[in-house]
Structure 1
Amino acid sequence: MKLGNINHIFFDLDHTLWDFDRNSALAFERVFKFRNIPLEINDFLEIYMPVNFKYWERYRNDQVTKEALRYGRLKDSFDLLKFEADKDLINDIAIDYIEYLPDHNHLLDGSKEVLDYLHKSYELHIITNGFEEVQHKKLNNSGISKYFTTITTSEEAGVKKPNKLIFEAALKKSSATPESSIMIGDNFEADCTGAQNCGIKPIFFDYYGNKENIDVMHIKTLNELKTYL
């Protein structure tokens, strides 16, 4: 079923277009090699990924700062792995990781194909909770910045998804209306609930296949967007 009266499409970036899991693993491999960290990357990631997820959830809810997120997710992961690292080493790793992350720019399957397809008929935009200094590098280095008319980050807006103020800021920046817009993202609360609270129709990208019964449009691959748009 094609959706009518849509002129603007807002995308999340990480886990929606940009392959965060793969790129993050490559960045940590490089950091660990540079810092001579004697941990198997897969063992580390098995612990780190759920810890990181919880820290981002707390960050969205304004329970931790950006600095506390960057430090705490590493400190907690190392503690669980019983790897001793002092504060200076953890801070160095955190800085290295953020520096190296946008150097790896694998996209999720179908990203460029879908962007090419949608770009012909719609204005495309980004709304992201990711850090300002990193997200623009990801878009530029992966070669997809050319598709987007506007990019709205949570640091620029002063609030994070799902706060409706970031969606209102993105609408104003793009001269779009809620009725003429769609939001596509992988985080149900941040992207879908947040968009709905602002009057924007959401499409949930169920990338991890975690949700079966949901009451919004949803896709499991990016190419499925052609069903709706």
Structure 2
Amino acid sequence: MIKDVFFDLDHTLWDFEKNSALAFQDIFKKNRVPVDLEHFLTHYVPINFKYWKLFREEKISKEDLRFNRLNEAMLASGYTIEPDLIHVLSQAYIEHLPLNNHLFDGVEQMLQELIKKELRLHIITNGFKEVQAIKLKRSNLSHYFTTLTTSEDVGVKKPNPAIFEHALNKANAEKQQSIMIGDNLEADILGAESFGLKSILFDPENKTPHTGNKILHFNELKQFF
């Protein structure tokens, strides 16, 4: 029987792309940056994904991630912006990102149902420590979760098995009675499985081929518990 459920946060519970777009809309307006938001986002989303992969693989620093993803997306969108302004926008983005807190459809109802079944819920995230707790609090999710483990707490990122081990120890959870739910096949699913955890892929756009457990909407999760 499953007793502990570990969730990823961004792109799983917390609708990162929607909240990110709103943050950019706000900071571009406040800093008078004449960028077509929709055009910019078509470049930023895949570039951000690329840099997060490099960050997970310990190939770049947090500072490199924050600066380069924005600078490269601006250049790809046809805009040349001074490095000083890129730094300003990068910091403003981090500050504005947790101010919008749209969740994926069905998240709160699903969490309530899991709590009613007396399951303990936890977060394991590669997101920046200084904003993840704020996201949980401002989206009114904090009270559902017993523990929050960030990669910065551990010093390694998913899919490194050490972060899963740390999270289970922090939660006082048993591997055989735990499961990981996340959107990233490499970091969340394969990472968890290589550590020996059961897993469920959350893939709302049904774009990731996967032969294991998979859901497109959180109302499908009840079949596993």
TM bracket (short chain)? over 0.9
Which among 24, 30, 34 is matched to residue 34 of structure 1? 30
Q: How many aligned residue pairs are there?
A: 224
After TM superposition, the score normalised by the length of structure 1 is 0.96
List per-residue Cα deviations over 1:19-71 (Å, max 9, x = no partner): 10100000000000001111111011011000000000110001111000000
Would the aligned equivalents of 1:16 and 1:207 in 2 still touch at CA under 8 Å? no
Which among 195, 200, 209 is matched to residue 197 of structure 2? 200
Please name the residue that 2:182 is paired with. Answer: 185
Please name the residue that 1:46 is paired with. Answer: 42
Please name the residue that 2:59 is paired with. Answer: 63
Task: Report the alpha carbon displacement of residue 119 of structure 1 after superposing the two structures with TM.
Answer: 1.2
* Gapped regions of structure 2 (runs ≥ 5): none
Which among 68, 73, 82 is matched to residue 72 of structure 1? 68
- Give, in whole Å, the separation in 1 of the partners of 2:94 and 2:208: 30
Q: Structure 2: which amino acid aligns with 1:219?
A: I
SS of equivalent residue, structure 1 residue 115: helix
Task: Report the alpha carbon displacement of residue 84 of structure 1 after superposing the two structures with TM.
Answer: 1.6
Please name the residue that 1:90 is paired with. Answer: 86
Question: Runs of 4+ in structure 1 displaced over 4 angstroms?
Answer: none
Would the aligned equivalents of 1:15 and 1:207 in 2 still touch at CA under 8 Å? no
- Give, in whole Å, the separation in 2 of the partners of 1:207 and 1:60: 23
CA RMSD of aligned residues (A): 0.7
Task: Report the alpha carbon displacement of residue 207 of structure 1 after superposing the two structures with TM.
Answer: 2.3
- Give, in whole Å, the separation in 2 of the partners of 1:55 and 1:101: 18
Tell whether 2:155 aligns with 1:175: no
* Gapped regions of structure 1 (runs ≥ 5): none
- Give, in whole Å, the separation in 2 of the partners of 1:185 and 1:111: 13
Which among 130, 139, 144 is matched to residue 127 of structure 2? 130
- Give, in whole Å, the separation in 1 of the partners of 2:91 and 2:208: 34
Q: Structure 2: which amino acid aligns with 1:66?
A: K
- Give, in whole Å, the separation in 1 of the partners of 2:133 and 2:2: 26
- Give, in whole Å, the separation in 2 of the partners of 1:36 and 1:215: 47
After TM superposition, the score normalised by the length of structure 2 is 0.98
Aligned-pair identity in percent equals 50
Q: Structure 1: which amino acid aligns with 2:204?
A: Y
SS of equivalent residue, structure 2 residue 73: helix
Task: Report the alpha carbon displacement of residue 82 of structure 1 after superposing the two structures with TM.
Answer: 2.3
Task: Report the alpha carbon displacement of residue 208 of structure 1 after superposing the two structures with TM.
Answer: 2.6
- Give, in whole Å, the separation in 2 of the partners of 1:16 and 1:72: 24
List per-residue Cα deviations over 1:57-110 (Å, max 9, x = no partner): 110001111000000001101111221211110000000000000000011000
Would the aligned equivalents of 1:162 and 1:193 in 2 still touch at CA under 8 Å? yes
- Give, in whole Å, the separation in 2 of the partners of 1:19 and 1:119: 21
Task: Report the alpha carbon displacement of residue 222 of structure 1 after superposing the two structures with TM.
Answer: 1.0
- Give, in whole Å, the separation in 2 of the partners of 1:222 and 1:130: 22
SS of equivalent residue, structure 1 residue 140: helix
Which among 142, 152, 160 is matched to residue 149 of structure 2? 152
Q: Structure 1: which amino acid aligns with 2:109?
A: E
Tell whether 2:12 aligns with 1:24: no
SS of equivalent residue, structure 1 residue 173: helix
Which among 204, 209, 224 is matched to residue 206 of structure 2? 209
